[in-house]
């Protein structure tokens, strides 16, 4: 099993740009798999402004430092208004290019 932590910029939640002080996606590639599965990634965001995010599934989008775009649907697992933790709930678009 291999894993990567990809730092993000230009983050959007449900197509709304969000100012973040920190954002990353943690991606796991299981032995024998060609790409991460639908639950093999998670995202951690720290928002500059307080954000009220009710429980549910959200569309996340962001770019790596080398401008590789990542996007996918994820379930909100935790939020205290500033720190938000999401778990993948579908395939992560752009991940193959980002890990290359």
- pLDDT tens readout for residues 60-93: 999 999 999 999 999 999 999 999 999 999 999 9
Residue 30's pLDDT is what? 94
- Distance (Å, rounded) from C-alpha 12 to C-alpha 9? 9
pLDDT band at 99 (very low <50, low <70, confident <90, very high): confident
Q: How many Cβ atoms from other residues are within 10 Å of residue 27's Cβ?
A: 22
Residues 45 and 56: their CA atoms lie apart, in Å, by 16
């Amino acid at each position: 099993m291999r894993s990567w932590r990809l730092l993000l910029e230009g983050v959007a939640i449900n197509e709304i740009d969000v100012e973040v002080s920190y954002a990353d996606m943690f991606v796991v590639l299981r032995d024998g798999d060609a790409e991460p599965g639908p639950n093999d990634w998670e995202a951690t965001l720290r928002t500059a402004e307080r954000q009220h995010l009710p429980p549910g599934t959200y569309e996340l989008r962001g770019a790596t430092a080398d401008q590789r775009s990542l996007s996918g649907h994820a379930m909100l697992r935790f939020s205290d208004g500033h720190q938000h933790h999401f778990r993948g709930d579908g395939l992560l678009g752009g991940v193959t290019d980002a890990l290359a």
